[in-house]
């Protein structure tokens, strides 16, 4: 039987072979995990639909179309250990397998780079998932010994400095993944096809931090999930969007589509880069519901297990650059959404409160918006409402 790349989404037309978990010529059982496909949006795992001998037709790193045949399973083959399977066929199967099958699974760029540095890939220890060998696992090449040349003094030209390092060792060229290429196109489109503008404000995190300090242990014990800052901002945005429908809207041709629900995307890091899974109906979830959803999405994003549906359909996005140390940035829109909130790092600053200078934990927040349908007054009003909810979290809890 053929192993065919399945349809994983209407807009996805091709995929990249991410990793084969079985070797060419190996006997596989039905439902065994065969390979992982990388698309522009999600990773997809393919399992064996039948038992038999595997033949790999498309190697790791190659790009194929949806519907393409990437391998075959010979259902007439017998499982290892059966009386009919003699030693001879075993030896042939091993001999026919590619040399790379004798070593750990590795990034497609590893063999070439290892060869350039004179390193046997079989000696490398992988730091990736399931021991996968990454480019960073290859030791840096040693600079060769300086060359010396003996020439007669009367004919020797003036000494010139000699560079002994091969220029090819100073760079590493790796093909851009499908996911990264599509992300680049998406971000470029956001800057070219929208009238993006950003407005800024700052929030006092004192009361939120005090609430979290007082109740985090009780919250954890009751809900089996930690209480983080993100849930406060998700809830603040969900409530503020109700008073700013344009910020929760999108443009479809010559129409403005107002969304009467609040599906908020949360930008999280994954092994493939930044992804934005969506929290559905965030306004209807309590803090524990938001925290549990964020935890689940973040864990599965790190494992590459998010589904296509979980990455589509958001009406607004929240991005927290503060976890990486950013204190001020301009978040890029995630079209067709027309608004995105950027959170940043918390810093103690001197601020004036009731006529006195005091030290408070402050955070910069930024709202990037599409000026085609959102006016400055609406954008500033939305951001001020988010600020009010964070400065005074009791108003958020009471929805006032």
Domain 104-143 has CATH 3.40.1390.10: no
pLDDT bracket for residue 173 (50, 70, 90):
confident
Which CATH number, 3.30.390.30, 3.90.740.10, 3.30.559.10, 3.40.50.300, labels domain 185-398? Answer: 3.30.559.10
pLDDT band at 317 (very low <50, low <70, confident <90, very high): very high
Residue 98 has pLDDT above 60, yes or no: no
At residue 168, the pLDDT reads: 58
What percent of the chain shows pLDDT beyond 70? 80
Average pLDDT over residues 30-37: 89
For the segment 143-165, the average pLDDT, to the nearest whole number, is 47
Question: Residues spanned by CATH 4.10.320.10 within the chain?
Answer: 104-143
pLDDT > 60? residue 226 = yes
Please enumerate in sequence order all residues whose Cβ is within 8 A of that of 170, keeping only pairs 6 or more positions apart, or say none.
none
Query: Which residue, among 49, 48, 4, 1, has the nearest Cα to 22 in the 3D structure?
Result: 48
Is 8 a residue whose pLDDT tops 80?
no
pLDDT tens digits, one per residue of 257-312: 999 999 999 988 777 677 899 999 999 999 999 999 999 998 888 887 888 888 88
CA atoms of 74 and 172, how far apart (whole Å): 39
Mean pLDDT for 62-71 is 88
Q: Residues spanned by CATH 2.40.50.100 within the chain?
A: 2-102
The per-residue pLDDT for 348 is 96
Domain with CATH 3.30.559.10 in the chain: 185-398
pLDDT band for position 129 (cuts 50, 70, 90): low
The mean per-residue pLDDT over the stretch 331-340 comes to 93
- Check if CATH label 2.40.50.100 holds for domain 2-102: yes
Q: Is the pLDDT of residue 152 over 50?
A: no
Residue 150: per-residue pLDDT:
44
pLDDT of 208 > 90? The answer is yes
- Catalytic residue annotation: 371, 375
Q: What is the pLDDT of residue 153?
A: 45
- How does the average pLDDT of the chain come out, rounded? 83
For the entire predicted model, the pTM comes to: 0.66
Position 112 scores a pLDDT of 67
């Amino acid at each position: 039987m053929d192993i065919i790349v399945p349809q994983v989404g209407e807009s996805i037309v091709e995929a990249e072979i991410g990793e084969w978990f079985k070797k060419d010529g190996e006997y596989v059982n039905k439902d065994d995990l065969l390979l992982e496909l990388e698309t522009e949006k999600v990773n997809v795992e393919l399992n064996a639909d039948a038992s038999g001998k595997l033949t790999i037709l498309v190697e790791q790193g190659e790009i194929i179309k949806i519907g393409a045949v990437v391998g075959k399973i010979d259902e007439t083959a017998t499982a290892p250990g059966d009386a009919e399977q003699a030693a001879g066929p075993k030896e042939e199967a091993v001999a026919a397998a590619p040399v790379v099958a004798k070593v750990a699974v590795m990034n497609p760029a590893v063999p070439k780079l290892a060869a350039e540095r004179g390193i046997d890939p079989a000696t490398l220890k992988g730091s990736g998932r399931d021991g996968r060998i990454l480019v960073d696992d290859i030791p840096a090449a040693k600079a060769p010994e300086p060359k010396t040349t003996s020439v007669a003094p009367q004919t020797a030209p003036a000494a010139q400095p000699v560079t002994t390092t091969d220029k090819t060792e100073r760079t590493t060229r790796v093909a851009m993944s499908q996911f990264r290429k599509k992300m680049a196109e998406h971000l470029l489109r956001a800057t070219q096809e929208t009238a993006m503008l950003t407005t800024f404000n700052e929030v006092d995190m004192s009361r939120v931090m005090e609430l979290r300090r007082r109740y985090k242990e009780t919250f954890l014990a009751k809900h089996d999930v930690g209480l983080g800052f993100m849930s406060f901002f998700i809830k603040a945005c969900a409530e503020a969007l109700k008073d700013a429908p344009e910020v929760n809207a999108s443009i479809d041709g010559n129409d403005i589509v107002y969304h009467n629900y609040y599906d908020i995307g949360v930008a999280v890091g994954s092994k493939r880069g930044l992804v934005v899974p969506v929290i559905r109906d965030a306004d209807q979830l309590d803090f524990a519901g938001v925290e549990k959803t964020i935890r689940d999405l973040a864990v599965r994003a790190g494992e590459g297990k998010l589904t296509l549906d979980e990455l589509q359909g958001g009406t607004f996005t929240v991005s927290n650059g503060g976890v990486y140390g950013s204190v001020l940035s301009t978040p890029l829109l995630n079209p067709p959404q027309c608004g995105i909130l950027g959170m940043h790092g918390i810093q103690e600053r001197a601020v004036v409160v009731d006529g006195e200078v005091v030290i408070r934990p402050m955070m910069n927040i930024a709202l990037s918006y599409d000026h085609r349908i959102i006016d400055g007054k609406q954008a500033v009003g939305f951001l001020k409402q988010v600020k009010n909810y964070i400065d005074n979290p009791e108003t958020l809890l009471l929805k006032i």
